[in-house]
Amino acid sequence: TADDPAARVKPRATPQRLPKAIPIHEVEAILEAASASDGTDAGEVVAVRDRALLELLYATGARVSEAVGCDVDDLLRDDDGRIGAIRLRGKGSKERIVPVGSIAAAALDAYLVRARPALASKGRGTARVFLNTRGAPLTRQSAWAALQQAAERAGVGHVSPHTLRHSFATHLLAGGADVRVVQELLGHASVTTTQVYTRVTPDALREVYLTFHPRARSDEPTAG
């Protein structure tokens, strides 16, 4: 058989796309926008729910499917009765415990007291934390729609279901968190998956260079 030169040509590797994270101020704008209500009682209930959901996603780095799959008993309280952590079920039904910060915990408690009972009264009873307006468990698609709507109101574009998860990981690593700790929080089986968050974009690299290199700025005095 004649040698086929094309068989020796290695295909070009597909470049690995960096996870899409957004700045902290855009995350905060989305979280604030989630609280927007149309002024009706029903609208207020949904707004309280959506704020709690999005606060939880950013506070824990949970996948949307993990968040909507949580039961009330998965909200773990400390000795003072405050929500301190949540039990998440990831890929392969693998469980992990993730801390919940005070702001997200307060939003969750507000939802459990002010909104969930009203939603639960419309349904047949479920242990799920997040409910829709018919009292049934909130779906992944509805949770994604809530994030989209909040982002639109905040004027933040190009969000995806993983936007808050990506931002959670990126902001932790930028703040000095160990990559293996972030791996555990995200529920990644391999640290290699988490390490993609440690890669910097060209813009970020340039900003660091301009900030720290002593001769990078054009306004530096030159020798006369």
Annotated catalytic residue, options 77, 91, 134, 180: 91
pLDDT at res. 193: 85
pLDDT at res. 113: 98
pLDDT at res. 218: 64
Mean pLDDT by 10 residues, the chain (224 residues): 60 61 94 95 97 98 97 97 96 91 98 98 96 98 97 94 92 88 93 81 64 69 52
Q: Which residues contact 111 (CB under 8 A, 6 or more apart)?
A: 48, 49, 51, 52
Annotated catalytic residue, options 63, 116, 128, 171: 63
Catalytic residue list contains 63 = yes
pLDDT at res. 209: 74
- The structure tokens listed for 220 are 């530096």
Looking at the domain 24-174, which fold is it? Answer: hpI Integrase; Chain A (1.10.443)
Contact criterion met (CB below 8 Å) for 222 and 214? no
Catalytic residue list contains 10 = no
Catalytic residue list contains 188 = yes
